[in-house]
Structure 1
Amino acid sequence: MHYRFITIEGNIGAGKTTLAHLLARHYSARLVLEEFADNPFLPKFYENPAQYAFPLELFFMAERYKQLKELLSRDLFSNLTISDYLFTKCLLFAKVTLSDEEFRLYQKLFDIIQPQLISPDLLVYLHAPVSKLQENIRKRNRSYEQHIPNEYLYQLQETYTQYIRQHNLKTLFIDVSKADFLGNERHLKTVLDALDKEYGEGQHYLTLPD
C-alpha cells in the first residue's frame, strides 16, 4: 500500500460509505465516516433550501473540521486511514447551495480553516449517472432525501469534476454505474488491485468488469 490517507468521494448516493467500510475492513484501516445524521438542518434544507442552506453548510464545515482535526492529534499516519468525505466538499456543496453573497462569506471562513488540515494521498471518486444515484437514494430510503431534484445532483456532479480537474488532484475515477461492491466480489477486487498501484498527479480511470 503506497498511501496512508485515502478519501472516497462522489455525489449523493454514489456508494462512498459502503466502499469505505469494505476497504477499511480489508486493510484493517482506521475508518472516518461523515456524521451527516447529526446535522439538524439537513431535513429542513431539503424542505426549504433557500432558508436553511447557510446554517446547513456552516454546521457541516464545523463538524468535518472537528472530526479531521481530532484525527491529526492522534497521529494520522500511524496506520492507513480511509475517509468517506473530502473536507473540500464543504466548499463544493456551498457553491451549489448558497447565494453569491453567502458563498463569498463562507469561502473566507473555509480559507481560514482548510490549511490546518492534511489532504489525502489519493482521492477515489465514484462516478455514476444521476439515474443511478436516484435509484440508490430510493433504496436507502432516507425520508428527507426522497425528493432531491435531478438538477441538484447534476450541479454537484459538475462542481466535483471541475474542481478535481482544475486542481489536478491525484484521483482514481471509478465508473460505478453498474457497481455492486457488496454482491460482486470481482468489483471489490478490481478496486483493491487498483489501489496496489502508485499513481502520479492527475486523474486516472477505472472501469469495473461486467
Structure 2
Amino acid sequence: MPETASGAVLFDLFGVIARHQSEEGKRLLTETMGAADPAAFWEAYWDLRLSYDRGDLDGLAYWRAVGERLGREVDPALAAALISADIDSWRAVDPAMVSLVERLASGGRTVGLLSNIPADLADRFEKENPWLAAFSVRAFSGRLGVAKPEPEVYLWCLERMAVSPGETLFVDDRSENVAAAEALGMSGHLFTDRTALEARL
C-alpha cells in the first residue's frame, strides 16, 4: 500500500487521540458494580461491549446483561450509576494528538473520526471536547448501528468526507481495524505513538 503524504486522514479516537480507560476509572467501575471478582467483571464487560458500542443494546440493557453474567441484578438506578462511571473512565485525551489533529485541519487536510463507542459516551465526549469540531466527519458506532471492522462504517465516512479510499490514510491502534481499511483501498497506519504517525504523515 503506498505511503500517503497528503490527502485525508481518518482517525480512531481511543488509543490514538484519547487515552484508554484510567486505572482509577476502572476501579470505580468494579466498585460501582460491587464485583467480587474483577476478572469476571472485565470478561463480561468486554465480551458484551461490541453490542453496546454498535447500538444493539442501550446502556440499561448492556449493564443488565453484564450483571446477569455476574449473578447481579442491575436496576435502572444502578445502570445509571454504571453508565456515568463508565463514561468518566474514558475522559482523558492526549493534548499533543489533539494539537496534531488541529494542525492538520487548519492546514487544509480533511480529517475524520471513526470510533467504536456507545451513544452515551459519544454524547458526553462531544459536549466536553470542543476540539472535535476540527473533524469534518464524526462517526460513532453507537449512533450508526455498525462498527469497525465492518466495511460499511468506513465507506460511510469516506462518502461524507467526499474522498476516495486511495487518498485516505486510516489511523487506528488495532491491527484488525487497519487491515479492514486497507482491504477497501485505504492506506493504513497502526498507531503506536505520535512521533511515528507524524513521520508517516
TM-score range, shorter-chain basis? under 0.3
Q: TM-score, normalised by structure 2?
A: 0.27
